[in-house]
Amino acid sequence: MPNIKIFSSSSHQDLSQKITDHLGLELGKMVTKKFSNQETCVEIGESVRGEDVYIIQSGCGEINDNLMELLIVINACKIASASRVTAVILCFPYAQQVDNLYAEPAVLKWIRENISEWRNCTIVLPDAGGAKRVTSIADQLNVDFAVIHKE
């Protein structure tokens, strides 16, 4: 894979290492520090000029610090003339659902259009937590449902 550099933020070093090992690439050299006023400083330890850079970042833990670190790394890569910078965000911060959007009509439509023998099926759920939703779907399809009891 030519012209690819992968960097890890401080939030998920282990996963980043596993990804680069799987791809047969080395993790990019980068140092993240905090100044005495808690401001984040990032130093890219190798040239990214003309490279496609991927930054692996998690939105978990210290969400604000991780997001700020990601922005600083992106900026550092762009200033260093990276060809393209892609953020791989494992958990997107501040993207919590605000509206109650219901997937049930879309699920029903998909089942009817994509499962040819849907009239002969049984809807199964892995625990009782979603029983209300599953019984509603099963009722609308006029099929049976089952719950797996875990101990």
Model confidence at 3, pLDDT cuts 50, 70, 90, reads: confident
Query: Which tokens is 143 given?
Result: 């099929």
Q: What tens digit of pLDDT does each residue of 65-121 get? A: 888 999 999 999 999 999 999 999 887 777 776 776 788 899 999 999 999 999 999
Sequence ranges of the domains in the chain: 4-89, 104-147
How many percent of the chain have pLDDT more than 70?
Answer: 95
Contact 49, 16 (CB under 8 A): no
CATH of 4-89, one of 3.40.50.150, 3.40.50.2020, 3.30.360.10, 3.40.50.620: 3.40.50.2020
Q: What is the reported pLDDT for 71?
A: 93
Contact 61, 15 (CB under 8 A): no
Give the pTM. Answer: 0.62
